[in-house]
């Protein structure tokens, strides 16, 4: 890197929380680095500290329990999730979504929580986790631990409701949405790795259908629940009301909107077909 900063790597959770309390406002949390280091390289002023969370053993835990559901620690990578027997068994949609992020090299480093905390509107992990009712567990030295629905984490383009002295330690996906069916569609410019120009995640469980849309608003958008026999056109109309895609160098507003509706149709048709 041609920008200078200090590297800190706390060995325990307590050490991390202390560091954040003291240095959080001059520091950035460092997990996979696939967003952070790119930002530092391309930006003006680097943070004074980058705080590596990967030495903390419990953050590497990816586990399933009947009561709690799926627990994804802060250092768990997209590759971990995509390849996990436990995830494939209970939340195959999540394993599938994780395959869509970046390239194999990026997936081996990018963490689920890192992707969410970068909070790009096109975050690949956000739509499906929103559909699956995920929540985020956030801790700090003074504030203890709080849990929020994932939806409340995203507050704007690259903005989260996390304060500089806080860390998202876990994402929890409840057992209620285990064994959902559905899928994730992503609009790209090439067949190779690209960020999402627009994306749709659909998850159906029991009598509910959940739909979330990425890259079409300042945050990923979770639509209200739909009953299972809702026609695709109704969902598409609700989507159109809820999102605000933009014209930019990647795609036009019109095409993003059009493709969101196409993806909703396709995913709904696939659900019908599966039945």
* Min dist. Cβ of residue 195 to other proteins (A): 7
Site for other proteins in 14-73 (CB under 8 A): 30, 32-34, 37-38, 41-42, 46, 50, 52, 54
Q: Give CA 225 to chain center in angstroms.
A: 19
Give the nearest distance from C-beta 194 to other proteins in angstroms.
7
Q: What is the x/- site pattern for other proteins, positions 187-206, by CB under 8 A?
A: --xxxxxxx-----------
Spell 43-75 as b/e; 16+ CB within 10 A means b. eeebbebbbbbbebeebbebebeeeebbbbbbb
Binding mask 71-110 for other proteins (x = CB under 8 A): --------x----------------------xxxxx-xx-
Angle, CA 120 vertex, CA 41 and CA 11 arms, to 5°: 65
Could you give phi then psi for residue 68, rounded to 5 degrees?
-85, -35
**C-alpha to C-alpha distance for 214 and 243, rounded to whole angstroms:** 9
CB 133 → other proteins: shortest distance, Å?
30
Specify the residue, 67 or 249, whose C-beta has the smaller distance to other proteins. 249
Q: Is 240 in the site for other proteins (CB under 8 A)?
A: no
Interface with other proteins by CB under 8 A: which range of 130-138, 163-171, 184-192, 223-231? 184-192
Q: How far is the CB of 249 from other proteins (least distance, A)?
A: 5
Smallest gap from residue 267 Cβ to other proteins (A): 14
Site membership for other proteins, residue 5 (CB under 8 A): yes
The 10 Å CB-count burial string (b at 16+, else e) for 7-19 is: eeebeebeebbeb
CB of 124 to other proteins, least distance (A): 14
Nearer to other proteins, 38 or 89 (CB): 38
Residue from 117, 128, 107 nearest 161 by CA: 117
Instruction: Kindly state the number of chain residues that form the binding site for other proteins, as judged by CB under 8 A.
Output: 43
**Which residues of this protein are in contact with other proteins, per CB under 8 A?**
1-7, 9, 30, 32-34, 37-38, 41-42, 46, 50, 52, 54, 79, 102-106, 108-109, 189-195, 249-252, 255, 258-259, 262
């Amino acid at each position: 890197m041609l920008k200078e900063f200090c590297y800190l790597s706390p060995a325990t959770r307590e050490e991390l929380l202390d560091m954040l309390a003291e240095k959080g406002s001059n520091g950035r949390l460092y997990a996979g680095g696939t967003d952070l280091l790119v930002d530092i390289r391309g930006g003006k002023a680097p943070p004074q500290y980058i705080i590596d969370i990967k030495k903390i053993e419990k953050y590497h835990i990816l586990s399933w329990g009947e009561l709690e559901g799926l627990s994804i620690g802060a250092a768990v990578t997209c590759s971990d999730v995509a390849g996990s027997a436990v995830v494939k068994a209970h939340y195959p949609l999540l394993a599938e979504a994780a395959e869509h992020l970046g390239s194999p090299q990026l997936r081996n480093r990018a963490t689920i929580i890192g992707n969410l905390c970068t909070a790009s509107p096109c975050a690949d992990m956000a739509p499906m986790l929103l559909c699956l009712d995920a929540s985020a567990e956030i801790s700090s030295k003074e504030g203890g631990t709080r849990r929020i629905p994932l939806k409340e984490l995203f507050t704007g383009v690259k903005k989260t409701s996390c304060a500089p002295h806080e860390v998202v330690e876990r994402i929890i996906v409840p057992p209620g949405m285990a064994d959902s069916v559905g899928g994730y569609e992503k609009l790209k410019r090439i067949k190779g790795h690209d960020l999402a120009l627009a994306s749709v995640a659909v998850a159906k469980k029991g009598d509910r259908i959940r739909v979330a849309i990425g890259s079409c608003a300042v945050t990923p958008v979770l639509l209200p629940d739909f009953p299972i026999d809702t026609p695709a056109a109704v969902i598409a109309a609700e989507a159109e009301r809820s999102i605000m895609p933009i014209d930019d160098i990647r795609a036009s507003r019109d095409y993003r909107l059009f493709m969101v509706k196409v993806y909703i149709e396709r995913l709904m048709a696939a659900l019908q077909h599966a039945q």
